[in-house]
Amino acid sequence: MTDQRQTPLAQSLPATVPFVAPERMEEIRGAAFEARLGANELSFGPSPKALAAMADSLGGIWKYGEPENRDLRQALAALHGIQPEEITVGEGIDGLLGVLVRLYVNPGDAVVTSAGSYPTFNYHVAGFGGVLHTVPYKNDREDPEALIAKAKEVGAKLVYLSNPNNPMGTVHSAKTVQTMIEAVPEGCLMVLDEAYTEFAPDETRPRLDTSDKRVIRFRTFSKAYGMAGARIGYGIAHREIATGFDKIRNHFGVNRVAQAGALAALKDQDYLTETLSKVAAGRARLAQIAQKAGLEPLPSAANFVTMDCGRDGDYARALVKALDKHGIFVRMPGVAPLDRCIRVSVGLPEEIEIFAERLPLALAELG
């Protein structure tokens, strides 16, 4: 029963959690997964220097984190050649998206995204009373032209694009993304989610232009830096947009352990380079495994490979369940026609080989 003291909006929303944790899935199945390949985490883990910095910071955990994230913002500014005032830090991209929607979306305001793209953005839009408008993917990619057309049609306050895309792994060129930025209609802000950008070629990233008020770009330490559990990410935008987050963000939301780890990880670019090489090799191996099993791997610019099962969503869901029975955790897109696919994260080499061994068994069981 809903608590009648809640706001009418809150009462109208379902009490759901968008993702089921693999740990909960293990509890349900009564055994641990042998290959954890579903959450797009970095199985290689963060830089040893980041781990050491986080361990060293634990003695001071009785202290609040630094509310301005000053040292990290200065380091990020130096890395990207921008000013610290053009960066906002928060509890991962998920947390930053929540603040963004609260900043810009009134109840009833229109927001545009792609049907089947990252669901947490939609979750925040619903939570603040925005009206979500979606456009379909085109050739397994988000469709920038359709997104802009819909934003103009409905008078959107925000229009969302992830590049590289989750859950498909596809990516647009920097030129295509820049063309979309330049087409953003008056009164609208483009939300460019670049969570996976480190895994993608340089030519997929438009030049950082913090003088442009039409776009905010989000990046994270969860993926390439291997710190998903620390919950820390950042946004890059015109200083008027970035400093706007200070009006309503949780100023102590990023804990001091995450701050220490992110700063150390950022300074260890050699480890990041090694990680990107390992992920590229893992993607190539997953593509080979898919092809050998009769699945079609989509070209990926992320830390996962999406595999077209060649059938419908019911078949893909059955395959996910069959792999679960064989000790392998994977996920899949939730919206047709994307749900004909499964999505497999790059894990440790031994996990990938377990997947190679058991994928044919799971497929054989489906007939």
On whether both 117 and 223 belong to a single domain, the answer is: yes
What CATH number is associated with residue 302? 3.90.1150.10
Look at residues 323, 290, 295 and name the one whose alpha carbon lies nearest to residue 311.
295
On whether both 146 and 22 belong to a single domain, the answer is: no
On whether both 52 and 169 belong to a single domain, the answer is: yes
Please, what are the averages of pLDDT over each run of 10 residues along the chain (367 residues)? 88 86 93 97 97 98 97 98 98 98 98 96 96 98 98 98 98 98 98 98 97 98 98 98 97 97 98 98 98 98 98 98 98 97 98 98 95
Q: Which amino acid appears at position 360 of this protein?
A: P
CA dist 141 and 170 (Å) reads 6
On whether both 74 and 218 belong to a single domain, the answer is: yes
DSSP state of 157: S
Is the distance from CB of 136 to CB of 164 less than 8 angstroms? no
On whether both 210 and 359 belong to a single domain, the answer is: no
Q: Which of 198, 233, 267 is the last residue of a domain?
A: 267
Is the distance from CB of 274 to CB of 225 less than 8 angstroms? no
In a domain, 55, yes or no: yes
On whether both 153 and 231 belong to a single domain, the answer is: yes
On whether both 81 and 173 belong to a single domain, the answer is: yes
On whether both 171 and 276 belong to a single domain, the answer is: no
pLDDT given at position 16: 83
In a domain, 351, yes or no: yes
pLDDT given at position 20: 87
pLDDT given at position 18: 77
Q: Which of 267, 299, 327 is the last residue of a domain?
A: 267
Q: CB under 8 Å to 32, separation ≥6 — which residues?
A: 26, 327
On whether both 206 and 337 belong to a single domain, the answer is: no
In a domain, 3, yes or no: no
In a domain, 8, yes or no: no
The sign of the torsion formed by the CA atoms of 175, 176, 178, 179 equals positive
On whether both 260 and 345 belong to a single domain, the answer is: no
On whether both 171 and 97 belong to a single domain, the answer is: yes
Is the distance from CB of 218 to CB of 94 less than 8 angstroms? no
How many domains in the chain? 2
Terminal C-alpha separation, the chain: 43
Q: Kindly list the strands in the beta sheet with 304-308, ordered across the sheet, starting from the edge strand earlier in the chain.
A: 296-297, 304-308, 341-345
CA dist 215 and 25 (Å) reads 38
Q: What are the structure tokens assigned to 212, written together?
A: 């442009």
On whether both 168 and 223 belong to a single domain, the answer is: yes
pLDDT given at position 24: 93
Q: Which amino acid appears at position 117 of this protein?
A: S
In a domain, 277, yes or no: yes
Helix H, strand E, coil C: the string for 120-145 is HHHHHHHHCCCEEEEECCECCECCHH
What CATH number is associated with residue 81? 3.40.640.10
Q: Is 141 left (phi over 0), alpha (psi -120 to 50) or beta?
A: beta
pLDDT given at position 1: 67
Residue 296 phi, psi (nearest 5): -110, 110
Q: Which domain holds residue 258?
A: 48-267
Q: What are the structure tokens assigned to 27, written together?
A: 């509890």
Q: Which of 267, 290, 319 is the last residue of a domain?
A: 267
